[in-house]
Structure 1
């Protein structure tokens, strides 16, 4: 795609599977970003474009990637669009919270043995148990019982259902009436993320685009997950990583090589050197 001035002015980049291909449970995943991808992202930053990392990770788990890539201005979007942080300080600039009492009451009956992990925005998580997940490797972890968990609003509630399948979790959540809640299920693993209704990466990106004064025709997004679908549609030009699921590939304007082949670097090299 040809952009005015030769390159996009707002670039939304997913983290896990896009910036790196390490397991997202790896607490040092930010250190595994390849030289080619580092160089490509830094070239985009030097151009004056607004580079916005957009992730399902909580804020403390996003900050290491900002530091690793020397992104010290602008903003990053965390928690699948529920949290906007200042890239320089990591402080929360905007957040969308929801009450946990109603969803917890419904979920605890339907999901025996599930572990619930609620974000404590900007600090860490409050959880009913431990899981091997990026949420647990960055920021504070406070273990609480489920009744106490339900008393505090959150920006994102992660549901882990050990020993079950992603399909089982998806099927149960699809039958529940959870007013004001958006459920995002990952069918390849027994994991779901709950946020307030209307929250997604694209919604926060659009608010930020308007604030930054960037034309909608000068936006680019690159991602690989189902939580990137709206983001790819939001952008004037959406790029899917070559290893992404079929639904994500179908939503993109362009498909780049997979992450293991530095696909992000290839995609960005079209506009940045």
Structure 2
């Protein structure tokens, strides 16, 4: 397998920054991995059938474990949508400590198995949701319903976009109490529509991330994958951001890539994600996550 990604050789942007953590003698102690578009070959509109871990990714993850690194899954997914990925990666190993997982874009941190939420941030999402719906009245709204392993939604989302059961609920009840994350989706709009709207509204009292499509994640102010990973490092003890290799492809990965000692964007990421990273690896279709991990944990 190549150790210098094609995307980096071709584009050379961004170049490796002058950070001592990027030298050949640095070894990550934590590998934080996004899921969709990083570990999985996500394509808009696909169903859960695409949830397949390839051999190069699986092997690279286990070489990192062999070297003593902690693997932390870090995703915008809700917790119930992440345990299957841990199972596909065969994490944790038999006899090992439970896995650390950062879910809901950092609002939820849990251990697995069994699932135990050890940290959660919540907020009052009602004002922000109302502001968005004023401009997109037909948008879909969802929050995690952990008890049923699914979501409370105002209407059913397109097939494959949410995992688990969808329980139809009035918007007033969906955001009637503090929540950790709200999804707003408008199949008739574009990501650029949501980017323009969020900039215009300001969405005071909440943070937000726009996805590949007209998909907006609302979260508590100051909460991101970076804050969730900081909680994990503090809980493990003796680790800082400088010890972390983070790999991701979405706008919800930007804070994580900036925070980590080495932040790596996938080759298919949009320009603003690449600009936040220290390095750009190959695309998910060319096993970019495995390529980057192999740089630090090479095959024997």
* TM-score (ref. length: structure 2): 0.83
SS in 1 for 2:223: coil
Offset, 1:185:
1.6
When residues 217 and 109 of structure 1 are mapped into structure 2, their CA distance, relative to the original with a 3 A threshold, is closer
When residues 133 and 238 of structure 1 are mapped into structure 2, their CA distance, relative to the original with a 3 A threshold, is farther
**Aligned equivalent of 1:26, options 24, 42, 47:** 47
Equivalent residue, structure 2, for 1:46:
66
Equivalent residue, structure 1, for 2:216:
192
When residues 162 and 53 of structure 1 are mapped into structure 2, their CA distance, relative to the original with a 3 A threshold, is same
Number of residue-to-residue matches in the alignment: 269
Equivalent residue, structure 2, for 1:157:
182
Q: Deviations over 1:64-83 (max 9, x none)?
A: 11111112223111111111
* Gapped regions of structure 2 (runs ≥ 5): 1-21, 93-97
**Aligned equivalent of 1:211, options 216, 219, 235:** 235
Conserved? CA contact 1:113–1:162, under 8 Å: no
* Gapped regions of structure 1 (runs ≥ 5): none
- Pairwise mapping of residues 56-205 of structure 1 onto structure 2 (< 5 A)? 56-72=76-92, 73-121=98-146, 123-132=149-158, 136-138=162-164, 140-186=165-211, 188-205=212-229
Bigger RCO of structures 1 and 2 (CA < 8 A, at least 6 apart): 2
Moved over 6 A (4+): none
What is the distance in 1 between the residues matched to 2:42 and 2:198?
29
Conserved? CA contact 1:52–1:77, under 8 Å: yes
When residues 216 and 198 of structure 1 are mapped into structure 2, their CA distance, relative to the original with a 3 A threshold, is closer
Offset, 1:121:
4.2
When residues 216 and 146 of structure 1 are mapped into structure 2, their CA distance, relative to the original with a 3 A threshold, is closer
Conserved? CA contact 2:33–2:248, under 8 Å: yes
* TM-score (ref. length: structure 1): 0.91
Offset, 1:244:
1.1
Q: Deviations over 1:99-154 (max 9, x none)?
A: 2332233333222111111123464211001113656323x321112222231321
Please, which moves more after superposition, 261-270 or 177-186? 177-186
Equivalent residue, structure 2, for 1:237:
262
What is the distance in 2 between the residues matched to 1:158 and 1:146?
12
